[in-house]
Structure 1
Amino acid sequence: MSGVSGGAVGLGLYNALTFENNNQISSSVSVALSKKFFQDDTLSPIIGKMLFGDFLNLFLPIHIKLFDRSIALEKSWERSYQSLIGNNRENVFSRSFASGKIKPTQPLFIINTTEVETGLQCWMSNLTPDSLALKNKRDLLAEKVNDLNYSTAINFSTRFPLFSPAAKVGGLNGIPRLHYLDGGYVENTGSASMLEVLQLLKSKSPYFNRITPIVITLLFSEEDKNTPKIRFGNEFIEILNAVTHTRSGNSTMSRFQLKRFLKENSDVCPIDAPLTPEEKNVPMNWVLSAQSMNNIMSDIEDKLNDTLETGIINKLHRHNLSFPQNKGFK
């Protein structure tokens, strides 16, 4: 599982409920808890800290955590998750993220972020991806961060512009100071990291040719086929568009290379699962209204409908694949 920005929050919740939780829960319960989590208001604490507290941190010689709006966001996630599972259960969001490294049976969970000083796509992971490219520079848990809360690890990928300041690492005892922003600054789908993992599996595992990788990419919307036209203020607009559209270009290239890899190594094409309702019907805000959640659920049900030609299940059946019955797929 490779998550970027808001997608990292969704995968983080799914990972916590399904794999980190000591008690197994059914899919229907997981969906109900997820809906409740994303309908909680996490915006108000950020706005409150930004207007009345965090602004002071810009002028103070020391950083006051009580005023930090990023910490306020993480605490709101922790409170929301605790309300889902009850006070007598361990809160995965407030515990150590690195503790997940001792569970090799878990799915690989990659949280993508962007290093400001180098422009590299870096990551946090519950396993040790020790053979990926530039691992000592890009794997933050390898050398740059000893440990941190589960919610803080996710928040390395969700540093939305203006709403959340960059995460800072180092700066003491001669350790270089580095900053991290939203993972979407480099590539917004998680495809780049997923491609690296598949290439690593192919190069390291003698059993790779016996496995059919199925890659499902969750997208905010259908791919925009229109090319923006620059008709005014060329010298300024060209620079602005180049900077803002680089992310889109990286995402397009990563998805293309991922699809090409799968085509060359298996007979199954990757499955794109974009959110099909119009953006005005499902605004990607920090708080999802009941109507927005209903629109999303309706779209998901369509995608999982095995009678629809365009549905995910139909695409899997079309390739005559066999699935272990004990995994719940028939």
Structure 2
Amino acid sequence: MKQKDIRKRVDQLTSAKTAAESKKFYYTLFWFLCIFNLTFFLLPSMTAINTMFVVLAVFAFLINYVDFCRHLAVAEKPWQKILGYLGIVIFLVAPNITPPGQFVVPLRELKTASAQNLISCERFSKGLGPVDSKRLLENAIERRIKFIESHSKAADSSNIYIVCGMGGGSRAGYFTARVLGLLDNKVDGFWSNTLLYSTVSGSSPGTYHYLKHRIAAPLEKEELSYLQHIYRQNFNSSGMFGLLLGDGFEGAFGGLINRIKALFSPSKVYTAFRDRNVRIRQEYDFALNEALAGTGNEKFLKNTFRFGVDISEPDDFQGFYLRNQDTIPIHLVNTFEVNSGRRTVLSPFVAGDTTLFSNAIQPLQDISFSDSIAKRDITYREAVNLSELFPFLSAASTIGENDRYQFVDGGYFENYGLATALDVVRYLESIQSPVLKRLKIVLIKNSLQRSKVEKSSLQLLAPLVGVINAPFTGHANQLLSDGIKKFNENMVVLEFDPDADTSKISLTRALTTKHIKALDEQAISQVMINEAAIRRLSATAAAQRRDSCGLNN
């Protein structure tokens, strides 16, 4: 090009017409991204939206937003300068704001509590008033054992099971629920003879989903489609959107949009903030309600806007067990408190002796969470969600009125649920329970979780690697080793085959059809391999059974 042609092009690029058109395009793009992300914020569910698409949309908005604020800050008019600087301050400060009420699990009224047979125990949490004897965990364990004895068939009345579930996102949820369903169908008396579950992280909602279906429709074929509908959902997008934009936006404006939405919402459930934890809980419940009703629909609009879906009142945690009157295994949910580094046990029953769970926080009977905690409850969904609050995609939560304790994924203490299960075993030992000779521990692992020492870590990363590996691998495998020594053949571990592709399924809240197929194959394989070991009696229990039948004579 000649010099005059270059000058002509430059004049065109810097002309008033080009500037006006560029400004028009700039503002169009900016407001489009604003509306786009506002739509994400308002959507009832983001399970049908690809997580990477959410990340790109949010970052595009943030880049344009910062540039727009910079543009205002250098404008001539004072009010534009003020808006520009204010926008930049909001961008820097909003992610660090957590107003009261955000990331809080609210306490609810305990609806099924009675005022009969009130008792107090010396080792209740300090200040906890008398409660109905039916609510004591020790009594609930005894009643569940009696229920097992009275309802089991003679042929399957020997083993009593404690089931532990390992953490691991949706992989753990699906695998745990699937294995429980298969054991229920393959091992006579497994469901009826299970004393309790102790679960961590993803296996906690998986166990809840299994229980809901087991009570509603105990058919294996229905269970498969039921679980697939729940776990084909993508529960990552809401967490990612909340982390990058949604939660900061709510914090900066005090949950204003959600408060306005609540005025027009048909839902009976209301929270001041629709933070990423709340979003994920609601999406789980959407999927659960659809699966139970058999109305699963994979269409984009159906999954995204949830037309016609009944948002029913969620199950209360303690209320759920008080209503079912010892007919189902007790579910002990494990989480972790950040500031004290202590295990936290969420139990649907009140421990008469708080030392039953060694050095553990027990929020549902601790008056630091509410002066009236004896009359308070949380939803079952919130209980299991507290167990799987993995960083970034979820946020640390507080419970009730106590903002000093923050709870995250239970795997940060121990990822198998064995710590709590072995505490129950020690309690049974302390009362010399006769069921000890018949007790069998079943651990459902969705990963091999073996130590890897193939190469050394970088010097700067070594401490961080150790901090992560200690609870997830070291602590968990130490308890597993102790359990195997203690129970020997009465401890059965179901885990992935080392050569199977399932070990490559990442720790995520989104499973593909291929993932689910691989998990199904592994679940079936593991149940077949371990079925005989789960049925088998210990030598002591077998001898007792022979004596009772007169076989030794």
Name the SS for the 1:104 alignment partner.
Answer: coil
Deviations 1:189-246 (A, max 9, x none): 111111111111222253234x42221211122242432643642xx33321231122
Which residue pairs with 2:278 in the alignment?
A: 71
Is 2:346 the partner of 1:127?
Answer: no
Contact map agreement 1:100 1:127 (CA 8 A) in 2 = no
Is 2:465 the partner of 1:244?
Answer: no
Deviations 1:241-267 (A, max 9, x none): 23112212111121122222324xxxx
Contact map agreement 2:457 2:465 (CA 8 A) in 1 = no
Contact map agreement 1:109 1:126 (CA 8 A) in 2 = yes
Instruction: Give 2:238's match in structure 1, choosing from 31, 38, 45.
Output: 45
Going from structure 1 to structure 2, the CA distance change for 1:304 and 1:133 (only over 3 Å counts) comes to: same
Which residue pairs with 1:258 in the alignment?
A: 483
Contact map agreement 1:2 1:194 (CA 8 A) in 2 = yes
Q: Distance in 1 between matches of 2:380 and 2:400?
A: 19
Which residue pairs with 1:185 in the alignment?
A: 412
Instruction: Give 2:208's match in structure 1, choosing from 12, 28, 31.
Output: 12
Q: Distance in 2 between matches of 1:137 and 1:317?
A: 33
Instruction: Among all aligned residue pairs of Structure 1 and Structure 2, give the percentage whose two residues are the same amino acid.
Output: 18
Q: Distance in 1 between matches of 2:326 and 2:418?
A: 22
Which residue pairs with 2:494 in the alignment?
A: 273
Going from structure 1 to structure 2, the CA distance change for 1:223 and 1:59 (only over 3 Å counts) comes to: same
Q: Distance in 2 between matches of 1:59 and 1:293?
A: 40
Instruction: Give 1:28's match in structure 2, choosing from 205, 210, 221.
Output: 221
Residue type of the partner of 2:452?
A: N
Deviation of residue 60 (structure 1)? Answer: 5.2
Name the SS for the 1:227 alignment partner.
Answer: coil
Q: Distance in 2 between matches of 1:206 and 1:272?
A: 24
Going from structure 1 to structure 2, the CA distance change for 1:108 and 1:168 (only over 3 Å counts) comes to: same
Q: Distance in 2 between matches of 1:283 and 1:93?
A: 33
Question: Which is bigger in relative contact order (C-alpha 8 A, separation at least 6)?
Answer: 2
Instruction: Give 2:512's match in structure 1, choosing from 289, 292, 296.
Output: 289
Q: Distance in 2 between matches of 1:124 and 1:132?
A: 12
Name the SS for the 2:211 alignment partner.
Answer: helix
Contact map agreement 2:439 2:490 (CA 8 A) in 1 = no
User: Which shifted more, 111-120 or 27-36?
Assistant: 27-36
TM-score (norm 1): 0.81
Which residue pairs with 1:328 in the alignment?
A: none
Q: Distance in 1 between matches of 2:294 and 2:462?
A: 53
Larger radius of gyration: 2
Q: Distance in 1 between matches of 2:470 and 2:294?
A: 45
RMSD: 3.1
Deviation of residue 279 (structure 1)? Answer: 4.8
Deviation of residue 51 (structure 1)? Answer: 3.3
Which residue pairs with 2:440 in the alignment?
A: 214
Q: Distance in 2 between matches of 1:280 and 1:253?
A: 21
Name the SS for the 1:109 alignment partner.
Answer: strand
Which residue pairs with 1:118 in the alignment?
A: 340
Q: Distance in 1 between matches of 2:313 and 2:480?
A: 30
User: Which shifted more, 36-45 or 117-126?
Assistant: 36-45
Going from structure 1 to structure 2, the CA distance change for 1:122 and 1:232 (only over 3 Å counts) comes to: closer
Contact map agreement 1:167 1:180 (CA 8 A) in 2 = yes
Deviations 1:252-302 (A, max 9, x none): 121122222324xxxx33111112333565334212111111111111121
Deviation of residue 303 (structure 1)? Answer: 1.8
Which residue pairs with 2:187 in the alignment?
A: none
Deviation of residue 137 (structure 1)? Answer: 5.6
Name the SS for the 2:461 alignment partner.
Answer: helix
Name the SS for the 1:35 alignment partner.
Answer: helix
Q: Distance in 2 between matches of 1:117 and 1:217?
A: 29
Name the SS for the 2:485 alignment partner.
Answer: helix
Contact map agreement 1:2 1:112 (CA 8 A) in 2 = yes
Name the SS for the 2:377 alignment partner.
Answer: coil
Name the SS for the 1:164 alignment partner.
Answer: coil
Instruction: Give 2:319's match in structure 1, choosing from 99, 103, 125.
Output: 99
Deviation of residue 319 (structure 1)? Answer: 4.9
Contact map agreement 1:93 1:149 (CA 8 A) in 2 = no
TM-score (norm 2): 0.50
Instruction: Give 2:386's match in structure 1, choosing from 139, 145, 156.
Output: 156
